A and B are shown apart, each in its own frame.
Chain A
Amino acid sequence: MTKTADIMGMPVRVNLADDFAKEKDIEEVFDYFWLIDERFSTYKDGSEISKINKGLLKLNEASEEMKKVLRLCEETKEETKGYFDVEKNGKIDPSGLVKGYAIWQASLVLEKKGYKNFYVEIAGDGEVRGLNNGEVWRIGIENPFNRMEIVKVMGLSNKGIATSGNYVRGVHIYDPLSGKGVDDIASVTVIGDNVYEADRFATAIFAMGERGIVFLENKEGLEGYMVLKNKKAIYTTGFEKFVIS
């Protein structure tokens, strides 16, 4: 059973492959994502994060979930040597981690309800569990130069996947400081033990540029596929075991 929704302008899709799948369980996941948006959206004046940034709410008065997410942000900052930083201009914005966190939490809710075979996806980042009718879930990596194409197909089970990059095809990107074309990566896809791990590192690794793939190679439990601007890809040594085509 697959259902999709548009939440905060992002496509959200849940596929429950267990035969006892109930529609209301998917609705519950969608409701949770709306709640997450209410709490963490920096674009909403009334959100908890906006209240904190305006000084209307003290950190020690924040919800347990807010405190947990901010702790995770701190942890990620340390693990990525500062490349992941939610503090800017005196304000905090944990958005870079919230999407992966929310999908991960939704997966845990489904797991508690007894689901073993499913996926939860928001805008190309997702958590896949178990199997799809006896076969591994098939995940494609989008061609960053042509959104209609897939450049890699992987078979995944009990993994999380996330991709970071600039997705507009044919776009001209300039470095505003040097005035030259940006010589950097087009996209990086990270596979982790869950989507939270994949998402937070994909965010930081995109900011690292090509060096990010070395970081991934050295990081246990994470594999990655990095597409460079010259249309070549570099991948970690453990990535190959997931490749179908």
Chain B
Amino acid sequence: MNKYLQISFVGLAFIGLILVKAMFKGDESTPQIQAPQSLQNSTSQNSTTQNSTSSSSSSSSNPPSSVTSTFKDGSFTGSVEDAFYGNIQVQAVISGGKLTDVIFLQQPGDNRTSQYINGQASMYLKQEAIAAQSSKVDIVSGASDSSMAFQRSLASALQQAQL
């Protein structure tokens, strides 16, 4: 079977599963998702090619703000995007005209998540609960390598949600 066809079937099965879950969960609050910064002006991929250069002495980037544009309600499945070591495909859930949830239908490492996880690691490596730190920093290192693929898949989902 064609791989992408397979993915669509899995995707459809998923939407079903999520809907059923939603029905049973009722009003349980879901955290609101903020769209990547480059999606705020436009949902097209053109927004990723702008070249703005500016001087800055600040070390922090602007926090992304919520998407408040008008979308039609429903669940929209984005395109499958290559994230180098696996595919990323997301589904955007629009409620009350706003992006309220993003569900990963595929993410890198999926095919390995069911594999046996080596419990030995925790036996000799130190562990700690993560806790917020307030110190000033020069660079913030965060996960971003899947963001391009993520943004593209989300952009295509949001395009379908456009009124």
Contact = CB atoms under 8 A, between A and B. Distances in A.
Interface of A: 2-11, 13, 15, 27, 30, 34, 42-43, 83-86, 88, 93, 95-96, 99, 119, 121, 123-126, 128, 132, 137-144, 146-153, 161-179, 182-184, 187, 189, 199, 202-204, 206-211, 213-214, 217, 227, 231-237, 240, 244-245
A148 B38 CA distance: 18
A78 to B, nearest CB: 15
B143 to A, nearest CB: 3
Interface string B128-163: 111111011111111111111011000000000000
B141 A140 contact: yes
Q: Which of A11, A86, A167 has the most chain B CB within a 10 Å cutoff?
A: A167
Interface of B: 10-11, 13-14, 17-18, 30-34, 38, 45, 47-57, 59, 61, 63-64, 82, 84-86, 101-115, 117-118, 120-122, 125-133, 135-148, 150-151
A143 B130 contact: yes
B56 A125 contact: no
A233 B128 contact: yes
25 contacts: A10-B147, A85-B85, A123-B147, A124-B139, A128-B139, A138-B138, A139-B141, A140-B133, A140-B140, A151-B132, A162-B141, A166-B104, A167-B143, A168-B102, A170-B30, A173-B107, A176-B11, A176-B14, A176-B110, A177-B114, A183-B117, A210-B117, A214-B125, A232-B128, A245-B133
Contacts of A83: 85
Given A166-B107, A245-B135, A189 B84 contact: no
Nearest to B149: A95
A96 B145 contact: yes
A168 B104 CA distance: 10
Nearest to A84: B85
A175 B17 CA distance: 12
Given A151-B131, A207-B109, A233-B129, 16 more contacts: A2-B56, A4-B56, A6-B50, A10-B147, A13-B56, A124-B144, A125-B144, A139-B140, A140-B135, A148-B63, A161-B139, A176-B105, A199-B145, A209-B115, A211-B121, A240-B126
A140 B146 contact: no
A2 B126 CA distance: 36
A123 B144 contact: yes
A137 B136 CA distance: 11
A138 B129 contact: no
A138 to B, nearest CB: 4
A93 B113 contact: no
Contacts of A161: 139, 141
Given A5-B53, A173-B104, A210-B118, A140 B132 contact: no
B31 A163 contact: no
Contacts of A93: 82, 84
Contacts of B102: 168, 171-172
A8 to B, nearest CB: 6
Contacts of A204: 85
B141 A141 contact: yes
Contacts of A147: 63-64, 142
B69 to A, nearest CB: 18
B131 to A, nearest CB: 7
A142 B141 contact: yes
Given A30-B53, A84-B85, A176-B10, A213 B133 contact: no
A144 to B, nearest CB: 6
Q: Which of A99, A143, A202 has the most chain B CB within a 10 Å cutoff?
A: A143
B125 A124 contact: no
Nearest to B62: A11
